[in-house]
């Protein structure tokens, strides 16, 4: 089942192949421009630093022309591959996008791959036309509801703004007994990041639903986990999703802590992987 989306203002609702809907806020052109400016400053400083080192090194050795040639190579590599490399290995973010809380994803909400990351940055030269005025990109951005430039349209990507407050706020669940189900699930039973986001939105809104509506909404995701982990068939799917939400939140907080620790000690390795993704409907 193909993904569909609807937009209200700057928010896009994405429906996954599992029939789960969740929302993204599309990054505004202003936010993207600031992120692009930050990345431009970083690239300029990097090229200047490399140029200074090369000129000093090869100037002392009498090879100024060779040093200048190496600087041109460094300029080419940084200019053309900076965005693609960072977005590939930083899950859709460059330093500029990370500082602004932005991320590049596919139009269905899933992470981009290396080909999309590199190609959308290569096509920035088309967006910058005519004569490096970026008029083509601005016109394309203004004419589509996801604010996609030409590179995004060609690669089926979009830039979203991450809701940091939602990601760090834990919704207390006081009306559900989570301990029995928690003991039934194996330690490694975790939803994927995409599914965890959908479960988080369900938990955030479940207080507005009655018991029957909760059971109806939670059943589709819950049945997949029941089958995967051989849980009792009569298990409360609403309570199961609450347990998964709690696990996903605590895991996310642990991963954030590990990331902070790795920034201090880069030799630390990430622990564990999310092992369960909801299968697509046939």
Q: For 141, what's the count of Cα atoms within 13 Å in the CB-facing half-sphere?
A: 21
Q: Which two tokens stand for residue 14?
A: 């994405």
- The answer to whether 51 and 183 have CB atoms below 8 angstroms apart is no
Residue 258: pLDDT over 80: no
User: In the prediction, which pLDDT does 165 show?
Assistant: 41
Lowest mean pLDDT among 31-40, 167-176, 250-259, 265-274: 265-274
Q: Which two tokens stand for residue 141?
A: 């951005």
DSSP, collapsed to helix, strand or coil, labels residue 53 as helix
For residue 276, what are the CA distances in angstroms to 186, 221, 282?
12, 12, 18
Lowest mean pLDDT among 112-126, 207-221, 246-260: 246-260
pLDDT digits (tens, 9 = 90+) for 263-280: 545 555 454 444 455 555
Domain ranges of the chain: 1-162, 170-264
Lowest mean pLDDT among 13-17, 117-121, 140-144, 230-234: 13-17
At residue 206 the predicted structure's pLDDT band, cuts being 50, 70 and 90, is confident
Query: 119: closest CA among 83, 144, 146, 95?
Result: 83
Q: Is 277 left (phi over 0), alpha (psi -120 to 50) or beta?
A: beta
At residue 22 the predicted structure's pLDDT band, cuts being 50, 70 and 90, is low
DSSP, collapsed to helix, strand or coil, labels residue 61 as coil
User: In the prediction, which pLDDT does 5 show?
Assistant: 47
Rg of the chain, C-alpha, whole Å: 23
- Per residue, the 3-state secondary structure of 240-262, as one string, reads HHHHHHHHHHHHHHHHHHHHHHH
Lowest mean pLDDT among 4-18, 47-61, 112-126: 4-18
Query: 200: closest CA among 233, 175, 163, 231?
Result: 163
Q: Which two tokens stand for residue 241?
A: 């999703």
| Residue 8 per-residue DSSP state | E
115 or 197, higher pLDDT: 115
166 or 68, higher pLDDT: 68
Q: How far is residue 159's CA from residue 71's CA, in Å, rounded to a whole number?
A: 32
DSSP, collapsed to helix, strand or coil, labels residue 202 as helix
User: In the prediction, which pLDDT does 102 show?
Assistant: 93
User: In the prediction, which pLDDT does 247 show?
Assistant: 78
User: In the prediction, which pLDDT does 266 show?
Assistant: 53
pTM of the model: 0.59
User: In the prediction, which pLDDT does 256 show?
Assistant: 52
Residue 18: pLDDT over 70: no
């Amino acid at each position: 089942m193909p993904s569909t989306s609807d937009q209200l203002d700057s928010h896009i609702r994405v429906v996954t192949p599992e029939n789960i809907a969740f929302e993204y806020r599309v990054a505004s052109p202003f936010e993207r421009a600031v992120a692009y400016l930050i990345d431009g400053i970083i690239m300029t400083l990097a090229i200047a630093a490399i140029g200074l080192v090369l000129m000093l090194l090869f100037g002392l050795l009498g090879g100024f022309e060779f040093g200048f040639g190496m600087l041109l190579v460094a300029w080419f590599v940084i200019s053309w591959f900076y965005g693609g490399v960072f977005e590939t290995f930083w899950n859709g973010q460059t330093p500029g996008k990370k500082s602004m809380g932005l991320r590049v994803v596919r139009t269905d909400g899933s992470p981009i791959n290396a080909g999309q990351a590199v190609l959308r940055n290569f096509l920035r030269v088309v967006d910058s036309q005519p004569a490096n005025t970026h008029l083509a990109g601005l016109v394309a951005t203004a004419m589509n509801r996801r604010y996609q430039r030409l590179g995004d349209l060609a690669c089926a990507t979009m830039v979203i703004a991450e809701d940091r407050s939602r990601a760090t706020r834990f919704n207390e669940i006081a009306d559900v007994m989570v301990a029995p189900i928690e003991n039934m699930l194996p330690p490694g039973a975790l939803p994927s990041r995409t599914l965890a986001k959908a479960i988080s939105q369900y938990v955030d809104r479940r207080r507005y639903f009655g018991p029957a509506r909760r059971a109806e909404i939670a059943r589709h995701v819950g049945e997949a986990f029941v089958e995967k982990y051989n849980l009792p068939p009569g298990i409360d799917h609403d309570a199961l999703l609450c347990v998964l939400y709690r696990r996903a939140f605590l895991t996310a907080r642990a991963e954030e802590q590990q990331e902070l620790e790795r920034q201090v000690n880069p030799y630390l390795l990430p622990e564990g992987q999310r092992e369960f993704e909801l299968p697509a409907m046939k």
